[in-house]
Amino acid sequence: MSAEQLRLGVNIDHVATVRNARGGAYPDPIRAAKIAEQAGADGITAHLREDRRHITDADIDGLMAALSVPLNFEMAATDEMQKIALRHKPHAVCIVPEKREERTTEGGLEVAREENRLAHFIAPLREVGCRVSIFIAADQRQIEAAHRIGAQVIELHTGAYCDAHAEGDYAARDRELEALREMSAFAHSLGLEVHAGHGLTYETVQPIAAFPEVRELNIGHFLIGEAIFMGLEPAVRQMRRLMDEARA
Ligand code: PXP
């Protein structure tokens, strides 16, 4: 297959993390989102967590009003989040697992175990026009279940691949990469749109960006960290450049 254009979704959660460390108004995640847009982001991703530890309800209101690119609204499969999504009708909703005590989204969603509930949960979101994405591990069983419940998109969790790279365990990294490659192709063969993300950096992005089936990468923490050193606009531009290079 020919590689279609690869979109970059910039996750601005951790601008809000820094803001909330002091409880004031800055740095402003909406300003960050607008800068990311100018730097070539095709979308903005924000995760409204149950405990509101970073993005707040007001941030979602602000993003919906201010963005020129689509918002990818990450949320847990709870009634509260479903109501908020149905009120805003963002372009995309990404369903993620959420545990209060975790530092970040640790694994993919267990779709296979909760198929019935999730099918009912996403149906109204699809009805109002949201593209529904499910964040899952590179596991055939989960992909098949995501397909059966009617998701249009899956986002593959790249965390284990990135962690293995950071730890210098290159054999594990290559195994994870191979699983991601195979499962991207498998999901695409079912007609699902394939996205990927979590933990991606300048060092780890290119092998994933080179998978022709992957249409979108969602990247946050590393970019916000790099922004401290070089500014957000150059940090996003550099990621965009590496993605385009890998794709070419
Ligand atoms: N995709 C999903 C579904 C996520 O939950 C996250 C983290 O919020 C990301 C992508 C971005 O991960 P990171 O901040 O590590 O780049």
Query: Which pLDDT tens digit goes with each residue over 45-55?
Result: 999 999 999 99
pLDDT of amino acid 228: 97
The pTM for the full model equals 0.96
pLDDT, tens only, 71-95: 999 999 999 999 999 999 999 999 9
| Residue 159 CA to ligand 1 centre (angstroms) | 9
Burial of 43 from C-beta contacts in 10 A (0-12 / 13-18 / 19+)? buried
Residue-range domain boundaries for the chain: 7-247
pLDDT, tens only, 187-239: 999 999 999 999 999 999 999 999 999 999 999 999 999 999 999 999 999 99
Return all residues near 9 (Cβ < 8 A) that are at least 6 apart.
Answer: 41, 42, 43, 44, 45, 72, 195, 197, 216, 217, 218, 219
Which of 198, 213, 216, 226 is an active site residue?
198
Reply yes or no on domain 7-247 having CATH 3.20.20.70.
Answer: yes
| Residue 245 CA to ligand 1 centre (angstroms) | 22
Atom of ligand 1 nearest to the CA of 197: 10
pLDDT of amino acid 104: 66
In angstroms, the Cα distances linking 155 to 57, 64, 96, 119 are 24, 22, 10, 17
Mean pLDDT for 153-182 is: 98
User: What is the C-alpha to C-alpha distance for residues 108 and 11, in angstroms, rounded to an integer?
Assistant: 17
